[in-house]
A and B are shown apart, each in its own frame.
Chain A
Amino acid sequence: MPVHEPTPLERFLNGILPENPVYRQLLGLCPTLAVTAAMKPAMTMVGATAFVLICANLITSLIRHLLKPHLRILVFTLTIATFVTIADRTLAAFAYPMSKLLGPYVPLIIVNCMIISRCEVCSSKQGPKAALADAIGVSLGFLLALASVATVREILGNGSWFGIQLVPESFPTLILMILPPGAFLALGSLLGLATWLGQRRKARVSASEAGSA
């Protein structure tokens, strides 16, 4: 039976919600908790991760026919480490305060399971178009995840969004949300919400199927 290989469009759409890297696959949790105290660092991290993901996917897709299977992890790691170095240096050169704020979390993109998993699952098996679509889709999913956590943490913890003050200065804020415990609590609650929404959708779909059957 021929294996159904997902088309580029399917890869793109899959990465955003159905196979969301954070909410469904639970990959890349470290940056999701670490840099989401405010929206600006979160979006910078998404940009850096997207850059590394797209470049790594493209390169591994282009050389996928040349590699013996057991050497691929080595090549993936080499590629990802190179592009993370490039991203880190570019950030330090052109946005030094943001680079200091993000600190060690930009180099930690190298061990972000999300990127190696996309290289392994998609770009080592399909052509550059599918790999590119997959990378963009997964990056959008990552953006969604980080934006949701960062919005909750920044609004509750600081009363601002993207640095713009939304509530008056004297209004009491939940400082806990900016601290590490707040990160865990925010992500845990959002994960629970995502699971609940998914279960409700599944219940509705199966109810309508049972109704039409």
Chain B
Amino acid sequence: MSRLRNSYLGQAWLILLLAGVFGALLAAIHLELSPRIEENIRAEIMREIPGLLLGGEAVTGASITIDGDQVSIESASGESTSLTVVEQPSEAAALYRVSEGDPEGRLLGWVARGQDHGYADVIELLVGLTGDTTQITGIYVLNQKETPALGDGIVRSDFRQHFAGIATDSPLTVGRNAEEAAQSPYAIQALTGATVSSRSVCNIVNDTVALVKTEIAEPAEGFDARP
């Protein structure tokens, strides 16, 4: 024991042994837990997709289960729907093709993830589009660090509701109050006291929609752009 302690070579062997033991422990943890962690990351987005494309009422009180590519929704009344979500190769952030039933089923819509700088920090959004990309079905805020009680109202459903059903043939603009917003079918009403956050969300939605349209018009290799 004391000989081990007094010799540098012995110490080196001890450190190597410790490193080996810890390394093996970490490798075991990695092999065991990585699949679960990746599933968690995917599930975060998949869980929001039904609400984005089918509307808020379809998912209130419903239970959503995720199994690989399939998302099954069992509504409160007992009806069950199943969607297949397949990620498409894309230049920018993630883009998902959502079809009813199996992957060969009817195209329900597209969901894309976009991000850009907001007022305080980066805002990350999910934007839902109809299958022909002519209408936005809704948005969902994944990540934001806006001012509490002011800018962070962008996560509230009454603000996100402004985006549901808006046509995409012209870029969206922000109106500072209800009268300004009513002047154009492409205008959304900003949050009181959070014009910059609202404008940032609007810009992110515009950029994401434009990106999705380009990617579908000129699909990359492996991109399933069937209508």
A and B touch in the complex (CB under 8 A): yes
Report which A residues bind B (CB closer than 8 A): 63, 65-68, 71, 74-75, 78-79, 82, 85-86, 89-90, 92-94, 96, 175, 178-179
How many B residues face the partner with a CB closer than 8 A? Answer: 23
Decide if A74 touches B15 in the complex (CB within 8 Å).
yes
- In whole angstroms, what is the CA distance A173 to B18 when docked? 51
Decide if B22 touches A93 in the complex (CB within 8 Å).
no
Complex interface: chain A residues within 8 A of B11 (CB): 67-68, 71
- In whole angstroms, what is the CA distance A58 to B30 when docked? 23
Report which B residues bind A (CB closer than 8 A): 1, 4-6, 11, 14-15, 18-19, 22, 25-26, 29-30, 33, 36-37, 40-41, 43-44, 148-149
Complex interface: chain B residues within 8 A of A93 (CB): 33, 36-37, 40
Smallest distance from the beta carbon of A175 to chain B beta carbons, Å?
Answer: 5
Complex interface: chain A residues within 8 A of B43 (CB): 96
Decide if A65 touches B44 in the complex (CB within 8 Å).
no
In the complex, what residue of chain A is closest to B21 when comparing beta carbons? Answer: A82
Complex interface: chain B residues within 8 A of A71 (CB): 11, 15
Complex interface: chain A residues within 8 A of B41 (CB): 96
- In whole angstroms, what is the CA distance A89 to B37 when docked? 8
Can you name 25 A-B pairs with beta carbons within 8 Å? Answer: A63-B14, A65-B1, A66-B4, A66-B5, A66-B14, A67-B11, A67-B14, A68-B5, A68-B11, A75-B18, A78-B22, A82-B22, A82-B25, A82-B26, A86-B26, A89-B37, A90-B29, A92-B33, A92-B37, A92-B40, A94-B36, A96-B37, A96-B41, A175-B148, A179-B148
Given contacts A78-B19, A90-B29, A179-B148, 19 further A-B contacts (CB under 8 A): A63-B14, A65-B5, A66-B1, A67-B5, A67-B11, A74-B15, A78-B18, A79-B18, A82-B22, A85-B29, A86-B25, A89-B29, A89-B37, A92-B33, A92-B40, A96-B43, A96-B44, A175-B148, A175-B149
- In whole angstroms, what is the CA distance A5 to B30 when docked? 40
In the complex, what residue of chain B is closest to A82 when comparing beta carbons? Answer: B22
Contact of B40 among A66, A86, A96 (CB under 8 A): A96
Complex interface: chain A residues within 8 A of B36 (CB): 93-94
- In whole angstroms, what is the CA distance A75 to B26 when docked? 16
- In whole angstroms, what is the CA distance A79 to B43 when docked? 33
